Structure 1
């Protein structure tokens, strides 16, 4: 929920390219959170890699024109799949994957430390 709120906040509070690219990075953070939710035992690097791969797949899917065609029939499709390919988005998805790796890695380390402390 925090990621969605941050993405919507970036779009409404900021303008221009920064808001768009912050939204792109946060899209991958959201995908990463969903990956971890589905596969909680996944380590940080594979989780971030899966989030990046899925984000890139969605962006490359836009090259087919299918998401744009589907968007004509659904208001949800553009939010999930986008409509037009934009090469710089690929870089910003990598930034989001780096955030997934860093935050999820830190959370796992903290959980291990707390678990070790609770065991003594």
Structure 2
């Protein structure tokens, strides 16, 4: 890999996305364990979508901010709607990991907070990618 190569940029982006994912998980666990009731719950919902966004960037480091945010929002909403089937609740009864990923019961306000997380994640991703007015992944003015 040569400095400034596309491969080098993708590796750096993946490392940043992985680090961001760890920070988001820590923030989510922290807010859930220390924040008051609904504040913690809805902040956790927004951070869930931000985490999904960081994982999208980890898998596809050249993804544009809007696509990453839209994918994360779509996934989060799909998981929420999947809860209407009862399958996530059944899975959660047998696995803490399933409960963390899929939740247990549908809650319509969660959809709004997923959108908040997607907008926040979009803004951060866009700011990082367009630092100094130049798109770091593609070298084009944004």
Higher relative contact order (CA 8 A, sep 6+): 1
Residue 118 of structure 1 aligns with which residue?
A: none
Counterpart Cα distance in 2 of 1:72 and 1:88: 23
Counterpart Cα distance in 2 of 1:81 and 1:64: 12
Q: CA deviation at 1:72?
A: 1.7
Q: Indicate the structure with greater helix content.
A: 1
Q: CA deviation at 1:16?
A: 1.2
On the 8 A contact 2:88/2:102 being kept in 1, the answer is yes
Structure 1 residues without counterparts, runs of 5 or longer = 116-120
Instruction: Please tell me the root mean square deviation across aligned C-alpha atoms, in Å.
Output: 1.5
TM-score between both structures, scaled by the size of structure 1: 0.91
Equivalent residue pairs, number: 115
Structure 2 residues without counterparts, runs of 5 or longer = 1-21, 137-142
Moved beyond 6 Å, runs of 4+ = none
Counterpart Cα distance in 2 of 1:4 and 1:71: 19
Q: CA deviation at 1:48?
A: 0.3
Which secondary structure does the structure 1 equivalent of 2:130 belong to?
helix
